[in-house]
Amino acid sequence: MKQRPENKLIYAVLGFFLILVFVLVLNKINFSFFSSPTLGIQKKVSRNVYEVKNSLRSAKNALTTKAQGLKLEETSQLLQVENEILKAEIKRLKRNANIKTERNDFFRIKCRANVISANPDWFINYYMLDKGAYDGIEEGDGVLYGANLLGRIINVAATTSQVQLITDPKSSVSARTDRGRVVGIVTGKGVTDCELQFVPKEEDVKENDIVVTSGLSTSLPEAIPIGIITYVKKPDGELSLVVKIKPFVNIFSVEEVAIIKKR
């Protein structure tokens, strides 16, 4: 017996839906099977990328912090150098101010000069200055460091001059004590010491007396500080006292000096 056309159509539609449902179910199973491992890999990759980015960001921040620290340290060092320069300038100005305020012969100053060299051996007896005849310097001019006597000019060139220090054994300066006005000759003993010579044994000279220029020479004005007496002895059989002097000027720390006119 032959089937009706209506039954065939129903069977065809039903078969089509069954095939469609089967295909959809199969696709869903396949998608879940393949997508689950892929999703896990994606999560791991994303997490690793995030960690790498964080590490790079941390390293960058660390380098930036280190660079800033080095810059601050460099700035601090520069500020310290500038501070030392300012301190040195203040000291220099104070020394120059002392010349003007402590002495009445400020008008005698010809110029200021810088020390550029000394004699090559350890026993410093002279300094070379960066000023000379072009600046009005002459032989015999006095040289001050601060308000105290350093020495006298002994040689002059066009742009330089040579200072003989009061500690030079060949140096001699007419001087007196400030307290008793006892006159003598200050001579150098080398390195850092001097002596006040030709002082009679009966004169009143004591330790801690101040020694200044006497004004009796043609080179230096009166009352320039030279040093302080550190030792006095009356040797037997001698006519003069042994008087040792510690100069006020530390010859190893001289930088800028003032040249004063001869009398």
Domain boundaries along the sequence of the chain? 1-102, 108-260
pLDDT tens sequence across 204-216? 999 999 999 998 8
The span from the CA of 75 to the CA of 80, in Å, is: 9
Q: Which pLDDT value is given to residue 58?
A: 72
Residue 259 pLDDT greater than 70, yes or no: yes
Q: Which residues pair with 240 in a beta bridge?
A: 200
Q: How confident is the model at residue 231 (pLDDT cuts 50, 70, 90)?
A: very high
Q: Which pLDDT value is given to residue 34?
A: 45
Report the sign of the C-alpha dihedral through residues 174, 145, 164, 169, in that order: positive
Token duo for residue 161: 């001059």
Report the sign of the C-alpha dihedral through residues 203, 209, 211, 215, in that order: negative
The span from the CA of 247 to the CA of 232, in Å, is: 15
Q: How confident is the model at residue 63 (pLDDT cuts 50, 70, 90)?
A: confident
Q: Is residue 126 within 8 Å of 161, Cβ to Cβ? A: no
Q: What is the dihedral of CA 8, 14, 18, 20, to 10 degrees?
A: 100
Q: For the chain, what is the radius of gyration of the CA atoms? A: 48
Mean residue pLDDT of the chain comes to 80
Q: Which pLDDT value is given to residue 162?
A: 96
Q: Which of 10-24, 94-108, 193-207, 216-230 has the lowest mean pLDDT?
A: 94-108
Q: Which pLDDT value is given to residue 32?
A: 47
Q: In CATH terms, is domain 108-260 a member of 2.60.40.740?
A: no
Q: Where does the chain show beta strands of DSSP type E?
A: 109-118, 126-129, 142-145, 148-156, 161-165, 172-177, 183-188, 194-197, 210-213, 225-233, 242-247, 256-260
- Say which DSSP state 251 is in: G
Residue 33 pLDDT greater than 50, yes or no: no
pLDDT tens sequence across 87-119? 766 776 776 666 554 454 554 788 999 999 988
Place of tokens 């040792």: 244
Q: How confident is the model at residue 126 (pLDDT cuts 50, 70, 90)?
A: very high
Q: How confident is the model at residue 261 (pLDDT cuts 50, 70, 90)?
A: confident
